[in-house]
Amino acid sequence: MDHLLPPDIVEAGHSFPAELAACGDLDALLRLKGAYVGREGSHAARLMELLKLAPKEQKRDLGAAINALKQQWEEGLKSRQFEIETKKKNRKALAASWDPSLPPPVPAQGALNPLNRLMDRLVEVFRPLGFHVEEGPEIETEAHNFDGLNIPEDHPAKASSDTFYLAAHPDLLLRTHTSPVQVRTLLRVAQDLGIRGGVRFLSPGRVYRKDEIDPTHSPMFHQVEGMLVGHGIGMQHLKGTLEYALRALFGPHTEIRLRPSYFPFVEPGCEVDVSCPLCAARGCRVCKGSGWVEILGAGLIHPKVLEYAGIDPVEWSGWAFGMGVERMAMMLSQTPDLRLFFENDQRFLKAMGGLD
């Protein structure tokens, strides 16, 4: 029906929405209103004149077109007016509520991830016993990750289906446990310093295995390794130290239990359970009704591991352990899905404030 209207008004109809959006205040809006629907000289007024002069047979169609246009303009003007007034009101309310004597808002502060906090706590538990922190690289040699730990050539952990090897350097891999830090530390201590006062360290860090990600598995996770080498060290020292450390972590009434197990780098080897800290060993979902939860692997250092580093296994002996950090953090915080620790969901991380 546009052909019945003067071209400049058709044009105006097209540019109306943009002009409306450009009105930043009520004055500008009033001017636009005057130009489009004002009593005199406006587009609408001109259209009414036109309608009066139109031949009878055009009046119906022309009238309908004019009404549609006017209605569109009036509605647009009304809703823009509402928007401008609301904005103004909000601004006023904000200004009235602003108290310049109040201190500025505190910017959001970050915090350590719960896994790091748990590892820090373990380090603090062992520090008074003379343990310091040793670090090792996440990209390791096969020698440190396997050979120096008496892990045989045909061990399943060495398979490329279990371990991430570096394509360009087939003898390099992402370490599958923190145990290679044992090899590095023994080699360094034996070669550079002489072993003298023995070795005591804790080594927290990331490790990698080819696992599909699910609520209890991740191709990247954390372990804490512990090692002590000295004169006449036996199982009793391992048990006593772990009892002290695990009671510091889980509470003074915690009991521990050693079960025989096999790891190539210890002899004898064991798995260590703690009495379930969540149900005081009465039996619950976390301990699957048994009252015990498996916490770490440990044992007396295999003579081959000491020999590899050039340390005499007749003169020196020691123990080592390795524990999984996610498992422990999940248990302590009753988190059912370990992915939550890596996803940076602030709601979860805030709720984890109570972990330590």
Smallest distance from the beta carbon of 355 to ligand DAH, in angstroms?
23
Cα–Cα distance for residue pair 345/143, rounded to 1 Å? 38
Closest CA to 227 of 162, 177, 153, 164: 177
Position 131 contacts ligand DAH (CB under 6 A):
no
Position 151 contacts ligand DAH (CB under 6 A):
no
Cα–Cα distance for residue pair 283/289, rounded to 1 Å? 4
Largest CA distance in the chain: 121
Give 105's contacts (C-beta < 8 A, 6+ positions apart): none
Position 297 contacts ligand DAH (CB under 6 A):
yes
Smallest distance from the beta carbon of 111 to ligand DAH, in angstroms?
28
Give 6's contacts (C-beta < 8 A, 6+ positions apart): 46, 50
Cβ of 220: how many Cβ atoms within 10 Å? 15
The window from 20-28, 114-122, 280-288, 297-305 that contacts ligand DAH (CB under 6 A) reads 297-305
User: Which positions from 222 through 281 interact with ligand DAH, judged by CB under 6 A?
Assistant: 225, 263, 266, 269
Binding mask 180-219 for ligand DAH (x = CB under 6 A): ----------------------------------------
Minimum CB distance to ligand DAH smaller for 92 or for 210? 210
Position 179 contacts ligand DAH (CB under 6 A):
yes
Minimum CB distance to ligand DAH smaller for 16 or for 321? 321
* Number of residues located near ligand DAH, criterion CB under 6 A: 12
Smallest distance from the beta carbon of 122 to ligand DAH, in angstroms?
14
Using CB under 6 A, pick the residue from 114, 180, 205, 299 that binds ligand DAH.
299
- Backbone φ and ψ of 207, nearest 5°: -135, 165
Write down the H helix ranges in the chain. 7-22, 26-37, 43-53, 56-97, 114-126, 142-145, 180-188, 235-250, 303-308, 325-333, 346-351
Question: 3-state class of 220 per DSSP?
Answer: strand
Smallest distance from the beta carbon of 183 to ligand DAH, in angstroms?
11
- 209 secondary structure, DSSP code: -
The DSSP bridge pattern shows strands 132-133 and 199-208 to be parallel
Cβ of 115: how many Cβ atoms within 10 Å? 21
Smallest distance from the beta carbon of 263 to ligand DAH, in angstroms?
4
Position 322 contacts ligand DAH (CB under 6 A):
yes
Using CB under 6 A, pick the residue from 122, 174, 242, 298 that binds ligand DAH.
298
Position 148 contacts ligand DAH (CB under 6 A):
no
Position 316 contacts ligand DAH (CB under 6 A):
no
Give 342's contacts (C-beta < 8 A, 6+ positions apart): 218, 220
Smallest distance from the beta carbon of 210 to ligand DAH, in angstroms?
14
Smallest distance from the beta carbon of 229 to ligand DAH, in angstroms?
12
Position 321 contacts ligand DAH (CB under 6 A):
yes
Q: Tokens for 318?
A: 């020691």
Position 317 contacts ligand DAH (CB under 6 A):
no
Cα–Cα distance for residue pair 35/25, rounded to 1 Å? 16
Q: Which residues bind ligand DAH (CB under 6 A)?
A: 177, 179, 225, 263, 266, 269, 297-299, 320-322
